[in-house]
């Protein structure tokens, strides 16, 4: 299960959705929200716009993966990520994502994401 959750997170950050924006419709739940490292809450539409506009060549390094089952179809995924291309001057951020399995669509969908800069 951890491997599947890791792939979904990497797909969001490393994916180029300009050719297939409908993938984002499946990955991000309708009630999706994100809290940025500055404490700002972003809507689903704002995050979709960012994912469609981001530079597809940017890459992140991931570590410290942890997965918790909160309920039979709900997972909390936590990890550390730092941008490697172009190199980040910071120490990265701790990320938390809540994924829920949608029985009707037959896939995991992201409902909430938060990142906190590492000091």
**What pLDDT digit, counting tens, does each position of 7-52 carry?**
999 999 999 999 889 999 999 999 999 999 889 999 999 999 999 9
Q: Which residue has the tokens 């730092």?
A: 82
Residues 6+ apart with CB under 8 A from 2: 65, 67
* Residue ranges per structural domain of the chain: 2-117
Residues 6+ apart with CB under 8 A from 64: 78, 79, 80
Residue 74 has pLDDT above 90, yes or no: yes
**What pLDDT digit, counting tens, does each position of 93-111 carry?**
999 999 999 999 999 999 9
Q: Predicted confidence band at 89 (pLDDT cuts at 50, 70, 90)?
A: confident
* 81 three-class SS: strand
What's the topology of domain 2-117? Nuclear Transport Factor 2; Chain: A, (3.10.450)
Q: Predicted confidence band at 81 (pLDDT cuts at 50, 70, 90)?
A: very high
Higher per-residue confidence, 90 vs 72 = 72
């Amino acid at each position: 299960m951890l491997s599947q959750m890791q792939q979904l997170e990497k797909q969001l950050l490393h994916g180029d959705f300009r050719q297939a924006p409908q993938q984002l419709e499946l990955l991000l739940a309708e009630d999706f929200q994100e809290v940025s490292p500055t404490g700002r809450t972003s809507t689903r539409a704002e995050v979709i716009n960012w994912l469609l506009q981001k530079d597809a060549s940017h890459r992140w390094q991931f570590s410290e993966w942890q997965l918790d089952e909160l309920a039979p179809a709900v997972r909390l995924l936590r990890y550390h990520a730092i941008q490697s291309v172009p190199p980040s001057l910071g120490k990265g951020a701790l990320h938390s994502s809540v994924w829920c399995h949608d029985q009707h669509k037959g896939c995991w969908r992201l409902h909430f994401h938060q990142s906190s800069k590492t000091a």
